[in-house]
Chain A
């Protein structure tokens, strides 16, 4: 007889297209932002989120009904969705923004995600689990997951390094990274999870999409929506006044021996305690 989980799981994974983590960024001469004419890829934390969703399905098999990726961004963001699909997501939603529009703030992103989750609810396809990266490596804000949890009134498990679902109890046991160590919490579903890099330790690195999977991903559906379709306003509330280079730090050169090193330390007033 088929085991009877309360209901099959629908997982939503928001992803962001960001400047590749290995790129040395350059501030533009107008000081309005950075030169974005560089390699972009999926935000590394989001890659871990997708990987975790796919691994949940590998563990829970058919109990995971769907994994849907979603992104909010200009037309090129669809590449990021294709990557998520090639990694194992079933379908995707692209909330498309004009290429010229400013990057939406986390609160607006959270409201957009809430609108999507509410649409799914109305279509009898309720989301049980949202897995997000803990921060985007471009704005480094780290707000969206918590804001979404606040808007929905759902529990949140931030900086998660381990996630164990108990489908019978509709709950999750989560290990979180906190200052000075770790913390274990139990959360009811539906739940918002944000991933720490440490997922890599508990599992393995996010998979590379294989060529056959990349080909398959091209056939998977991407639903296109606009902010207006969802009734959300993505206009930033904060004003970006300036983006500047950080003060440049110049190395002080090398010494050729331990004695030289100790002399420099003494000069700076540093001795053994």
Chain B
């Protein structure tokens, strides 16, 4: 029955949407993957899409050898009614210049889609606004909650502004026919698996871009055996007090390993070269909300707090009893971290 409804929605011409009759929302969710492995942020985007209360169609693009794997995986997640996929050697890397024409084709003319959703990932942040502008639509970034009113065809979002020091509630009125937004992964649970789901899978032709103005040269990923920072249940994070790269590694990594935690860093630590850029937590880095966030030698600047203050349990170790981090930490210890961290590791092991 779901399948029939999806088919009917696909067949419906655009014109019918311009009448006052309220139409059910239909979200297009950009499902991201790396080499066929779905990004966890996309699963949070699926949950957000389901909250609109209408149809949800996923879109997977990529190189032929990876898309099939991603599609197989994606079809078993709850909330998805249909899954579109498009493959082309050109889509091997998510270059916005190359992918935008495909999105334009999907979203223009008699498109059934009322919302376009992705996680707030670096590739979607590059792509979605470009597509939105092509369709003359505004976009809403890093949404933390949403509510759709089908009767008025308006969607209300909340999102953090000023580095999370204020929460804005914005409404996308019915005058915006396609509502673009990106979803903060830590604000929505990942869609659970649901193998009984009946998902219509459909291949769509790629839109070849002749003479693309941008060419991908190479990708360098920071390699780590630890959990990925953005989705880890526990994070151990270090700041400027860690002195240098070797001290950072020697102090933090054993503790992270004992706890099974990901390693994060403040901007000061990243700028000073103690840790890789991709480990930065904060307004300009990753936003995390783990069960446990352990801040070692981090004073707690506004910009850092923006990236971690939604963590369930915040533990701070700092020499300075007046460090702002103590104002939000659930458990604080005023101490020299070089003395207490080894002790902590030993006692945790017992």
Residues of A near any B CB (own CB < 8 A): 19, 21-22, 24-25, 27, 34, 105-107, 110, 135, 137-143, 146-151, 154-159, 161, 173, 176-188, 196-198, 200-201, 237-246, 249-262, 264-265, 268, 270-273
Contact = CB atoms under 8 A, between A and B. Distances in A.
Contacts of B169: 240-244
Interface string B119-133: 001110111111111
A140 B283 contact: yes
Nearest to A198: B277
Contacts of B128: 146
Interface stretch (B6-14, B108-116, B138-146): B138-146
Contacts of A242: 168-169
A151 B312 CA distance: 42
Q: Chain B binding site: helix, strand, loop or mixed by DSSP? A: mixed
B284 to A, nearest CB: 5
A154 B100 contact: no
Given A150-B132, A155-B214, A142 B141 contact: yes
Q: Chain A binding site: helix, strand, loop or mixed by DSSP? A: mixed
Contacts, number: 257
Contacts of B284: 135, 196-197
Contact of A19 (B162, B164, B277): B162
Nearest to A241: B169
Interface stretch (B53-61, B68-76, B321-329): B321-329
30 contacts: A34-B162, A106-B138, A107-B139, A138-B162, A140-B159, A140-B161, A140-B283, A141-B141, A143-B132, A146-B125, A146-B126, A146-B128, A150-B133, A161-B277, A183-B216, A183-B218, A184-B216, A185-B216, A201-B271, A239-B170, A239-B171, A240-B169, A241-B156, A249-B328, A252-B332, A258-B340, A261-B317, A270-B291, A270-B292, A272-B348
B213 A154 contact: yes
Contacts of A198: 277
Nearest to B219: A183
